[in-house]
């Protein structure tokens, strides 16, 4: 079971679930829905008069996305695609849009993100919970079926060579966040925040105009820091989220596509702050695989996002765009905070 990596500060839990009129009529009504989807706990919080309808529709949207994109659900579109036996299949518009964004990110990250990693992820047991350490020969066999360049997407026609399988798990929650923001905006909402199993995405600011405060989890539990954000996605990939131990070794669920083994880049977690959830989600996974040096170089070349790196050695580094909106918290206060500059 995944741990929640973020908790929103100061949200009164007694309001769960449903809507609550504010004590002070000058304040906005708050509607909140908590649901289980995509194997994790999700919370949608919407302020304003259209909140109730918006959270309801948001819940429906999440279920629709799950039933399209789940890699394990035998009724999903991804399952159908993964069992197409090398034949071309026609994709829904939703899946086409997500897959084409995801493939672009795979290319942009030099394959650190690879949406065809599924055969390897499955061999380690991460989708089933039957954890095991595959033999070298098994991994090298499976790696022949990994490589996003083997995916042919021509309009909505997708062809995967026999044995190649998609896993959009590294970008699905980020995409879902973007789709929720779109839905809320279209309903006239100006202030909302969603937690999708730890991914946090906000529409606008809090109703009083102040930024949202989002906690960044410490690898050992508790919080390492707090971020103040408006209109952003905050997305973490961490080695402590899903892993198993065998013979004193820890094996995490983020795989380096270069060797098919759990990524060991010296990072405990990468938190990406981006305008779009899908980009933040894809990048958090990819930067975790890359490690600090490559992640910094990648950021310098693009600069349309920021990140927080927690090292396995307890170090904390943030890119300069977060200098004024990130602060260390609790037991982490007083540690050196390194600023990564352009």
- Residue 221 vs 336, nearer CB to ligand ADP: 221
> From the list 58, 119, 177, 257, which residue makes contact with ligand ADP (rule: CB under 6 A)?
257
> From the list 103, 151, 218, 255, which residue makes contact with ligand ADP (rule: CB under 6 A)?
255
> From the list 48, 58, 119, 169, which residue makes contact with ligand ADP (rule: CB under 6 A)?
169
CB of 25 to Mg ion, least distance (A): 41
- Residue 105 vs 123, nearer CB to Mg ion: 105
Across the beta sheet with 212-217, what order do the strands follow?
212-217, 223-229, 326-328
Residue 224: in which H helix or E strand, if any? strand 223-229
Which stretches within 109-149 are classed as H helix?
118-123, 136-143
The CA–CA distances, whole Å, from 299 to 64, 244, 269 equal 33, 31, 16
CB of 252 to Mg ion, least distance (A): 13
Residue 167 touching ligand ADP (CB under 6 A): yes
Strands 192-196 and 199-203: antiparallel
Q: Quote the CA–CA distance of 319 and 342 in Å, as a whole number.
A: 8
Q: Which token pair is 84?
A: 């197409």
Do residues 211 and 229 touch, judged by C-beta distance below 8 A? yes
The alpha carbon of 32 is separated from its chain's Cα centroid by a whole number of angstroms, namely: 21
Region near ligand ADP per CB under 6 A, out of 88-96, 222-230, 247-255, 325-333: 247-255
Within residues 268-297, the interface with ligand ADP by CB under 6 A covers: 281, 284-285, 289
The alpha carbon of 120 is separated from its chain's Cα centroid by a whole number of angstroms, namely: 20
Within residues 262-281, the interface with Mg ion by CB under 5 A covers: 281
Residue 51 touching ligand ADP (CB under 6 A): no
> From the list 68, 98, 113, 192, which residue makes contact with ligand ADP (rule: CB under 6 A)?
113
- Residue 46 vs 252, nearer CB to ligand ADP: 252
Residue 42 touching ligand ADP (CB under 6 A): no
Residue 170 touching Mg ion (CB under 5 A): yes
CB of 281 to ligand ADP, least distance (A): 5
Sorted by sequence, the CB contacts under 8 Å of residue 44 that are 6+ apart come out as 32, 33, 34, 35, 54, 55, 58, 59, 180, 192, 194
Question: What is the C-alpha end-to-end distance of the chain, expressed in Å?
Answer: 38
Residue 167 touching Mg ion (CB under 5 A): no
> From the list 48, 285, 296, 337, which residue makes contact with Mg ion (rule: CB under 5 A)?
285
CB of 251 to Mg ion, least distance (A): 18
Q: Which token pair is 93?
A: 């518009």
Q: Which does 279 bind (CB under 5 to 8 A by kind): ligand ADP, Mg ion, none?
A: none
Closest by alpha carbon to 278, among 243, 299, 255, 304?
304
Region near ligand ADP per CB under 6 A, out of 19-27, 43-51, 113-121, 332-340: 113-121
- Residue 169 vs 321, nearer CB to ligand ADP: 169
105-129 as b/e: b if 16+ CB within 10 A: bbebbebbbbbbbbbbbbbbbbbee
State the residues that interact with Mg ion by CB under 5 A.
Answer: 170, 281, 284-285
State the residues that interact with ligand ADP by CB under 6 A.
Answer: 113-115, 117, 121, 126, 167, 169-170, 237, 241-242, 253-255, 257, 281, 284-285, 289
């Amino acid at each position: 079971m995944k741990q929640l990596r973020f908790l929103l500060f100061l949200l009164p839990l007694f309001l769960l679930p449903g809507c609550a009129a504010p004590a002070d009529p000058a304040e906005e009504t708050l509607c909140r829905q908590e649901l289980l989807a995509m194997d994790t706990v999700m919370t949608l919080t919407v302020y304003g008069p259209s909140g109730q309808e918006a959270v309801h529709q948001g819940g429906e949207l999440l279920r629709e996305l799950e039933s399209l994109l789940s890699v394990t659900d035998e009724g999903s579109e991804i399952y159908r695609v993964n069992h197409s036996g090398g034949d071309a299949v026609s994709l829904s518009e939703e899946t086409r849009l997500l897959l084409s964004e995801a493939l672009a990110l795979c290319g942009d990250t030099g394959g650190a993100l690879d949406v065809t990693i599924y055969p390897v992820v499955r061999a380690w047991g991460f989708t089933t919970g039957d954890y095991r350490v595959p033999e070298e020969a098994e991994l090298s066999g499976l790696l022949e079926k990994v490589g996003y360049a083997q995916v042919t997407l021509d309009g909505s026609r997708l062809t995967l060579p026999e044995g190649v399988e998609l896993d959009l798990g590294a970008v699905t929650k980020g995409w879902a966040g973007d789709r929720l923001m779109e839905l809320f905006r279209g309903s006239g909402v100006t202030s909302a925040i969603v937690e999708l199993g730890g991914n946090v995405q906000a529409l606008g600011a809090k109703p009083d105009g102040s930024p949202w405060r989002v906690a960044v989890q410490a690898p050992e539990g508790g919080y390492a820091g707090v971020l103040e954000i408006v209109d952003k996605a905050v997305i973490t990939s961490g080695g402590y989220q899903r892993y198993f131990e065998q013979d004193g070794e820890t094996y995490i669920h983020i795989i380096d596509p270069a060797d098919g083994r759990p990524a060991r880049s010296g990072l405990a977690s990468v938190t990406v702050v981006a305008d779009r959830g899908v980009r933040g989600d894809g990048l958090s996974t990819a930067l975790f695989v890359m490690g600090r040096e490559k992640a910094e170089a990648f950021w310098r070349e693009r600069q349309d996002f920021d990140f927080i790196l927690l090292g396995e050695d307890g170090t904390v580094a943030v890119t300069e765009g977060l200098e004024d909106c990130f602060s260390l918290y609790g037991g982490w206060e007083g540690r050196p905070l390194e600023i990564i500059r352009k």
